[in-house]
Amino acid sequence: MVISKTIQLHADPTANQQQMCIIDITHQVEQQVTGTDINSGIVTLFVAGSTAGISTIEFESGLLSDFQGMWERNAPKNIPYDHNRRWGDGNGHSHVRASLLGASLVVPFNDKRLSLGTWQQIVLVDFDNRPRSRQIVLQIMGE
Ligand code: ZN
């Protein structure tokens, strides 16, 4: 069986200094999975859009800060981007970061429990330079 679900989120990367919005969506994914008749299988999460990504992280302030620092070192905001020269929207770094992180994640589950580590949360990371409405598509497959 395959069941499609969506999670709608509002993300505002401009609300903090790092211009990055990291949202813990673990509980919402769990709710969607337990709301189906599928007991065991996999859930694929995919975010539509080229300036956001999905991953897992230990959702604590120290690591969140380290994670944000890593993006600034590897794809800094204030360097020239051809994308910005071409389109003038100023979010070249957002696109590069999103491509590097990836738009999807697969999480197995058994007896309706996600196979996550104790300190492992599922996160949407929005890298854009303006507030966005985000849609995450869940494809839940199993039996
Ligand atoms: Zn752009």
pLDDT in tens, 43-70: 999 999 999 999 999 999 999 999 999 9
Ion ligand 1: residues, CB within 5 A, are: 89, 91
Q: Which structure tokens are listed for 46?
A: 């995919």
Q: How far is the CA of 3 from the centre of ligand 1 (A)?
A: 32
pTM for this predicted structure = 0.95
CATH of domain 2-142: 2.60.120.460
Q: Is the pLDDT of residue 4 over 80?
A: yes
Q: How far is the CA of 33 from the centre of ligand 1 (A)?
A: 33
CA distance 109 to 74: 33
Instruction: Tell me the pLDDT band of 17, cut-offs 50, 70 and 90.
Output: confident
pLDDT of residue 78: 93
Instruction: Tell me the pLDDT band of 19, cut-offs 50, 70 and 90.
Output: confident
Q: Is the pLDDT of residue 110 over 90?
A: yes
Q: How far is the CA of 123 from the centre of ligand 1 (A)?
A: 22
Is 37 exposed, middle or buried (CB count within 10 Å of its CB: 0-12, 13-18, 19+)? exposed
Residue-wise pLDDT tens digits, 22-44: 999 999 999 999 999 999 999 99
Q: How far is the CA of 36 from the centre of ligand 1 (A)?
A: 36
Q: How far is the CA of 89 from the centre of ligand 1 (A)?
A: 5
pLDDT of residue 52: 98
pLDDT of residue 30: 98
**Mean per-residue pLDDT for 125-135?**
96
Q: Is the pLDDT of residue 7 over 80?
A: yes
